[in-house]
Structure 1
Amino acid sequence: MPSNRLNRWLVLVLILACAIGAALAWRILRKPAQPPAFASGNGRIEATEVNISTKLAGRLVEVLAREGDDVAVGQVLARMDTRVLTADLREAEAAIVQAQHKKTSATAALAQRQNEIAAAEALLAQRTSQLQLSTTEMRRTKELHSGGFVAREKMDVDVTATKTNTALVKAAQAQILAAQAALDAAQAGVLEAQAAVEAAQARAETIRADIDDSTLTAPVGGRVLYRLAEPGEVLAAGGNVLTLLDLSDVYMTLFLPTEQAGLAALGAETRIVLDARPDLSIPARVTFVSPQAQFTPKAVETRTEREKLMFRIKVNIPRDLLLAHAKQVKTGLPGVAWVQLDPSAPWPKDVPPLFSEKKPGP
């Protein structure tokens, strides 16, 4: 009995040693796992949506596009009622004319004040000359009076004339100061009139801009997705009239786990396979990799996948290809996007050929 029990223990020890040795050998000799060369995720074709909205509150007069219409950049899509704005513009233009007339009057007043200063300066020169003459005569009379050649009455007359001329000079100087103050006021009046003209012109330009903005045009070429308002409706400022799809900015959003998202480089080649056309691939490029992980939306993955943290990846279809086949571009179509994580890896055979490589059907 003891020998059988000993043999049994020896067998167990040998088995355990072999297992440990095999595990160590596998751990040492096994090759490290290669990173994936491709990643795939489900998504839907989307396009940038552009809302055509009103700038000002008002009544919608005309809507020139319907859902599904293709529109070009600058095409007129709708018009707002501009009768009130047109009346405001006439009032602003009349205010411009009125302000210009006031400026003309202020300019004339300025010229009049300048002439008054010139006249006051001439008067001052005259009074100064008279003062100099009377002063000279007064000195001469004093000398003659001291010698007894002139009566005192003559000296008193000359002294009085000198004092009178001195007062007249001071009055002329005060008149110049008053004229200068009037000139400054006239110059301020001209500047104020000019400012009034510019304010009236700015008001008119603002109204013209509002009238221009009342004609709603397409900022991008695309397709009308929604017609949100009809003629006759009164819309608030910022009210949406149409929603356009920018067919030059079409993309698919997918979600990849951390390992694959870390290998997805911006600009990486991508192929989109739509459920509606599983026989071909649409070329695309990675244009965005989210810097934050998130739970995948319910509409994209199963509940099991939604419980995982994933990174949002955005892949865009080339603009030239979209514009060349604008009539065939449709949003909302589901499909799978294959992202090339290793640029040197060949594409799997189960990925259909590119759209540009496939011959068009009849």
Structure 2
Amino acid sequence: MNNISYRILLPIGVSMFASCSSTPDYDAQGTFEATEVIVSSEGNGKILYLDIDQGDSVVAGRTVGQVDTVQLFLQRQELSRQYAALDASRPDLAAQIASLKEQIAGTLTDRDRVARLLKDGAATQQQLDNLNTKLASLQGQLDAQRSTVNNSRSSIDEQMNALVVKSQAVDDQIARCVIASPISGVVLDKLAEAGEVTSFGKPLFKVADMHNIYLRAYFTSDQLSALRLGQKVTVVADYGAGNEKSYEGTVSYIATQSEFTPKTIQTKDSRANLVYAVKIAVKNDGLLKIGLTGNVYVGNNGN
């Protein structure tokens, strides 16, 4: 009985020892990730529509939703009304000084006439002096009136310019109520629905750039000397059930600090408990998905 038990246990023990001591043929392992962007509301109000669903493809800059802008539109109308009222109140310099200019012209005519009469002895110097005094007074009034009108116009211009800035700010707010994705990609999560009231900074949906995907792999410290930024490596995606596909990858990031080995990752050296994260950019052919496992071959062993 003891002999049978020994023969049965021996192969199992050998098999377990071989499994624990085996070294993976790849240089590093990791999972595929993508650049994810959370698109948040830039306006306040009710969401009129949000035409996206989880899994939809979106194009950068294309409108997918709209936040209500009625209140902003009313503000814009009020600012336009105030602007028009100020513009209508601008004093007309020509009209304001027309009377004084007429008086000055008449006084100049009188002064010239009296000056001629004075030469002939038909007028007195006092009459001429009085007209010169009157002319100086009228000229002073004209200058003062010009200054008053110009100051008034400058003040109105400043108020109108301030309204222009306010209008531009409202126009900017209205434009920001249009909901669009900043990148082309796939919607991972829809975080709001039409009819809900949103506010500035509230997340609406999450989108990932699936065209340019990357593998976050983990290398031990003794492997880093074989890596450099821009280096070409082979990435083998594991689709499960024995289905694999090789891709060319480019090292785009190498961590400068180590971290504990993730539990789901198997390293070249099974005893290593500290690893360095390395991002490897891969051109997605449409098959790669976030969360897929991939193996890295620094040489061409993956082919």
**Offset from partner CA, 1:100-132 (integer Å, 9 cap, x none):** 3224xx2xx211245345335424523542563
Match for 1:129 among 102, 112, 133? Answer: 112
Q: Does 1:263 align with 2:226?
A: yes
Contact kept? 2:186, 2:210, Cα under 8 Å: yes
Moved over 6 A (4+): none
Match for 1:199 among 142, 162, 175? Answer: 162
Equivalent AA in structure 1 for residue 258 of structure 2: Q
Match of 1:11 in 2: none
Please, what TM-score do these two structures have when normalized by structure 1? 0.67
Please give the root-mean-square deviation of Cα atoms over the aligned residues, in Å.
2.8
Write the distance in 1 (CA, Å) between the matches of 2:225 and 2:115. Answer: 101
Match for 2:293 among 334, 353, 362? Answer: 334
Q: Displacement of 1:267 after TM fit?
A: 1.5
Match for 1:169 among 119, 129, 132? Answer: 132
Alignment of 1:101-250 (within 5 A): 101-103=88-90, 106=91, 109-116=92-99, 118-130=101-113, 132-133=115-116, 135-136=118-119, 161-250=124-213
Equivalent AA in structure 2 for residue 176 of structure 1: Q
Structure 2: which 5+ residue stretches go unaligned?
Answer: 1-24
Q: Displacement of 1:255 after TM fit?
A: 2.8
Match of 1:316 in 2: 281
For the residue of structure 2 that corresponds to 1:77, the secondary structure is strand
Equivalent AA in structure 1 for residue 89 of structure 2: K
Match of 1:22 in 2: none
Alignment of 1:36-47 (within 5 A): 40-47=27-34
Write the distance in 2 (CA, Å) between the matches of 1:284 and 1:117. Answer: 85
Equivalent AA in structure 2 for residue 333 of structure 1: L
Contact kept? 1:58, 1:236, Cα under 8 Å: yes
Distance 1:119 1:304, change over 3 A: farther
Equivalent AA in structure 2 for residue 231 of structure 1: A
Write the distance in 2 (CA, Å) between the matches of 1:170 and 1:247. Answer: 87
Write the distance in 2 (CA, Å) between the matches of 1:236 and 1:47. Answer: 27
Write the distance in 2 (CA, Å) between the matches of 1:304 and 1:117. Answer: 101
For the residue of structure 2 that corresponds to 1:231, the secondary structure is coil
For the residue of structure 2 that corresponds to 1:305, the secondary structure is coil
Match of 2:17 in 1: none
Higher helix share: 1
Q: Which structure has the larger Rg?
A: 1
Q: Displacement of 1:211 after TM fit?
A: 2.0
Match of 2:74 in 1: 87
Equivalent AA in structure 1 for residue 292 of structure 2: L
Distance 1:304 1:295, change over 3 A: farther
Write the distance in 1 (CA, Å) between the matches of 2:272 and 2:137. Answer: 95
Contact kept? 2:41, 2:199, Cα under 8 Å: yes
Match of 1:78 in 2: 65
Sequence identity (%): 18
Match for 1:56 among 43, 47, 53? Answer: 43
Q: Does 1:294 align with 2:249?
A: no
Write the distance in 1 (CA, Å) between the matches of 2:147 and 2:210. Answer: 63
**Offset from partner CA, 1:159-186 (integer Å, 9 cap, x none):** xx42243133122212212211211222
Report the count of equivalent residues. Answer: 274
Distance 1:297 1:163, change over 3 A: farther
Q: Displacement of 1:287 after TM fit?
A: 1.4
Match for 2:85 among 98, 103, 108? Answer: 98
Distance 1:120 1:40, change over 3 A: farther
Write the distance in 1 (CA, Å) between the matches of 2:136 and 2:257. Answer: 85
Distance 1:76 1:297, change over 3 A: farther
Equivalent AA in structure 2 for residue 118 of structure 1: K
Write the distance in 1 (CA, Å) between the matches of 2:142 and 2:250. Answer: 78
Match of 1:280 in 2: 245
Write the distance in 2 (CA, Å) between the matches of 1:296 and 1:185. Answer: 77
For the residue of structure 1 that corresponds to 2:205, the secondary structure is strand
Q: Displacement of 1:260 after TM fit?
A: 2.8
Equivalent AA in structure 1 for residue 62 of structure 2: Q
